């Protein structure tokens, strides 16, 4: 269990992020066409997982825009924005924001948040994900992680981009 804060108050996740150097847990996430996707769908690519509670918040929206701009054009890299939002809402957000370089994927049918240790287990946000970055290399090994210590803060973009 990890402890972070939300508006300065301690909240907890169900576990810890997978350790750097370990094999990435496979996942089942849902795209805007309601198709299930997993690690195999991104085989041979680097994967930046921008894990956010909901794209319907300013900080989550900002990180999706920033990674769309900065990492979306990187060769051999897929940027996955992972949230509990329904695929329809994610699609609408990406269309409105003109985000063409990210894959918005929903956790709504999966154990992703539990498997990656980011499920919030207490507070009014219980059930959503903590804000985190996980970078997975072409061989599905974890090469970088960040669990953002205050849910309202943005991730360390420079460190994440350097890890790619």
pTM of the model: 0.94
CATH code for the domain in which residue 40 is found = 3.40.30.10
Owning domain of residue 112:
3-163
Q: Closest Cα to residue 16, out of 159, 147, 164?
A: 147
Told to judge if 94 belongs to the known catalytic residues of this protein, a careful annotator would answer: no
- Give the model's pLDDT for residue 61: 83
Residue in 51, 52, 60, 120 annotated catalytic: 60
**Total number of domains constituting the chain:** 1
Q: Are residues 96 and 90 in contact, defined by beta-carbon separation less than 8 angstroms?
A: no
Q: Tens of pLDDT along 22-55?
A: 999 999 999 999 999 999 999 999 999 999 999 9
Residue 74 CA, distance from chain mean position: 17
Residue 123 — pLDDT band, cuts 50, 70, 90?
Answer: very high
Q: What is the DSSP letter of 127?
A: T
């Amino acid at each position: 269990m990890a402890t972070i804060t939300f508006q300065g108050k301690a909240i907890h996740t169900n576990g810890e992020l997978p350790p750097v150097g370990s094999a990435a847990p496979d996942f089942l996430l849902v795209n805007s066409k309601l198709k299930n996707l997993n690690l195999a769908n991104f085989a041979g690519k680097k994967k930046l997982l921008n894990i956010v509670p909901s794209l319907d918040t300013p900080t989550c929206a900002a990180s999706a825009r920033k990674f769309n701009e900065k990492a979306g054009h990187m060769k051999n890299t897929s940027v996955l924005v992972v949230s509990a939002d329904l695929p329809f809402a994610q699609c609408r957000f990406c269309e409105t924001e003109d985000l063409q370089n990210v894959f918005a994927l929903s956790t709504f049918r999966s154990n992703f948040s539990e498997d990656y240790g980011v499920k919030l287990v207490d507070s009014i946000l219980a059930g959503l994900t903590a804000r985190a970055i996980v970078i997975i290399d072409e061989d599905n090994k974890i090469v970088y992680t960040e669990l953002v210590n205050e849910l309202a803060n943005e991730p360390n973009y420079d460190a994440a981009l350097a890890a790619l």
